[in-house]
Amino acid sequence: MPRLEIRPFGTEHLAACGALLADRHRRHRAAQPLLSPRFADVDAAVAELTAVFGTADASGAVAFRADVPVGFVLGAPKPSPVWGPNVWVEAAGQAVTDAEVARDLYAAAAARWVDEGRTAHYVLVPAHDTELAHAWFRLGFGQQHAHAIRRASGPTPTTGPPVRRATRADVPVLARLDVELPLHQGRSPTFSAGRLGSVEESLAEWAEDIDNPDYATFVVERDGEVVGSAVGCAIEKSGSHLGLARPENAGFLAFAAVFPPARGTGAGRALGAAVVDWAADSGFDSVVTDWRVTNLLSSRAWPALGFTETFLRLHRLVGY
Ligand SMILES: CC(C)(COP(=O)(O)OP(=O)(O)OC[C@H]1O[C@@H](n2cnc3c(N)ncnc32)[C@H](O)[C@@H]1OP(=O)(O)O)[C@@H](O)C(=O)NCCC(=O)NCCS
């Protein structure tokens, strides 16, 4: 086999790497047909890659054999401090003809990232591609997060505690439920650095948002008391399901929380099912959600409701 040659990613590589990305997406869609068909088109893939390359401080590497491109990795930092001194390889940020090449590409690209002081690395890997995920595992990465999808139509539970649409009278309890998610995820074993807002902040937001028609808010009751809530909306409202990870005409399970004493008794499942049913009634084809894989509750509840992974977010902290 001709030797692998690695070069820094440049504008001149966008067309060839876009073609590799479109190929990757075609394979991904064969495993996960609910993903958008759009990016199997080379022009759409090139446009996506061009946008990533245009991000501030984007950099990466391209691999060649006998002058033929066989893979690329392209990353860029996010400004938010919650990710540390970071670089992200997003949904459009890699494609390889052979999984092992990803390791050579990372080796070349990461040298610059670490030189720049960016030591927290994140990479989105198509969930069906176990060889590629294993190549990243052999680079010191582990899974942090899952993006997932299910059809909007299809089986959802018909039994469970009663769920109804939230009203303005529910604003105080909705505000209390808002803080339950960051509270839970700040604890072991997730240890998320996500900001823990106050109930007062949430109250002010809910007072404005409760009637916003772009969001469908549900509450679940036990013995006449609200014990949990969930929010559905269009995927376009999400800031984290972008590009190749944003299916067309999809709803989004954006939020769910149940008070601790009521967890594990079917309330979350009833809320998730209500959002899926709302998405089907609203004409969406699919429903997207995501979870920290270290969140023992959501990582069990959403797959049990029929969500299957589309992208794995892997993470590595360099230096230890
Ligand atoms: C995630 C959350 C909303 C789920 O609600 P819940 O009321 O606890 O969940 P349920 O009791 O409805 O259980 C849902 C599914 O998870 C499964 N599950 C629950 N605990 C489990 C366990 N220990 N092991 C395996 N599966 C488990 C249940 O079996 C159920 O599936 P099934 O109905 O097919 O059996 C709730 O736990 C919560 O508020 N967690 C903290 C905040 C959070 O993580 N929000 C989600 C952010 S993405």
In SS3 terms, the chain reads as CCCEEEEECCHHHHHHHHHHHHHHHHHHHHHCCCCCHHHHCHHHHHHHHHHHHCCCCCEEEEEEECCEEEEEEEEECCCCHHHCCEEEECCCCEEECCCCHHHHHHHHHHHHHHHCCCCEEEEEEECCCHHHHHHHHCCCCEEEEEEEEEECCCCCCCCCCCEEECCHHHHHHHHHHHCHHHHHHHCCCCCCCCCCCCHHHHHHHHHHHCCCCCCEEEEEEECCEEEEEEEEEEHHHCCCCCHHHCCCCEEEEEEEEECHHHCCCCHHHHHHHHHHHHHHHCCCCEEEEEEECCCCCHHHHHHHCCCEEEEEEEEEECCC
Residue of the CA atom closest to atom 4 of ligand 1: 268
Report whether residue 304 contacts ligand 1, using a CB cutoff of 6 Å.
yes
Per-residue pLDDT band for 148 (boundaries 50, 70, 90) equals: very high
Ligand 1 centroid vs 143 CA: distance in angstroms? 20
Report whether residue 184 contacts ligand 1, using a CB cutoff of 6 Å.
yes
Report whether residue 267 contacts ligand 1, using a CB cutoff of 6 Å.
yes
For residue 137, the model assigns a pLDDT of 98
Question: Cβ atoms within 10 A of the Cβ of 131, count?
Answer: 11
Report whether residue 194 contacts ligand 1, using a CB cutoff of 6 Å.
no
Quick check: 143 pLDDT over 90? yes
Report whether residue 24 contacts ligand 1, using a CB cutoff of 6 Å.
no
Handedness of CA 312, 316, 317, 320 (dihedral sign): positive
Average of per-residue pLDDT across 44-66: 98
**Residue 203 near residue 220, CB atoms below 8 Å:** no
Per-residue pLDDT band for 173 (boundaries 50, 70, 90) equals: very high
Q: Which domains does the chain have, with CATH numbers?
A: 4-140 (3.40.630.30), 151-310 (3.40.630.30)
Ligand 1 centroid vs 301 CA: distance in angstroms? 4
Quick check: 28 pLDDT over 80? yes
For residue 159, the model assigns a pLDDT of 83
Average of per-residue pLDDT across 128-154: 97
Ligand 1 centroid vs 141 CA: distance in angstroms? 27
- In tens, the pLDDT along 4-22 reads 999 999 999 999 999 999 9
For residue 224, the model assigns a pLDDT of 95
Cα distance between residue 270 and residue 277, in whole Å: 10
Structure tokens at 232: 């559905």
What is the CA 289 to chain-centroid distance, rounded?
7
Q: Which atom of ligand 1 is nearest to the CA of 291?
A: 48
Backbone angles phi, psi at 130, to 5 degrees: -65, -30
Report whether residue 256 contacts ligand 1, using a CB cutoff of 6 Å.
yes
Report whether residue 156 contacts ligand 1, using a CB cutoff of 6 Å.
no
Average of per-residue pLDDT across 132-140: 98
Ligand 1 centroid vs 236 CA: distance in angstroms? 26
Report whether residue 307 contacts ligand 1, using a CB cutoff of 6 Å.
no
Quick check: 156 pLDDT over 90? no
- In tens, the pLDDT along 247-270 reads 999 999 999 999 999 999 999 999
Average of per-residue pLDDT across 50-67: 98
Report whether residue 163 contacts ligand 1, using a CB cutoff of 6 Å.
no
Buried b (16+ CB within 10 A) or exposed e, 34-62: bbbebbbebebbbbbbeebbeeeebbbbb
For residue 54, the model assigns a pLDDT of 98
Question: Cβ atoms within 10 A of the Cβ of 169, count?
Answer: 9
Structure tokens at 90: 């997003």
Per-residue pLDDT band for 193 (boundaries 50, 70, 90) equals: confident
Report whether residue 257 contacts ligand 1, using a CB cutoff of 6 Å.
yes
Residue of the CA atom closest to atom 1 of ligand 1: 298
Ligand 1 centroid vs 258 CA: distance in angstroms? 9
Cα distance between residue 37 and residue 42, in whole Å: 11
Cα distance between residue 293 and residue 35, in whole Å: 21
Ligand 1 centroid vs 295 CA: distance in angstroms? 10
Ligand 1 centroid vs 229 CA: distance in angstroms? 13
For residue 277, the model assigns a pLDDT of 97
Q: Which atom of ligand 1 is nearest to the CA of 266?
A: 12
Q: Pairing mode, if any, of strands 120-126 and 86-89?
A: parallel
For residue 72, the model assigns a pLDDT of 99
**Residue 310 near residue 304, CB atoms below 8 Å:** no
For residue 195, the model assigns a pLDDT of 83
Per cent of the chain over pLDDT 70 is: 100
Ligand 1 centroid vs 101 CA: distance in angstroms? 38
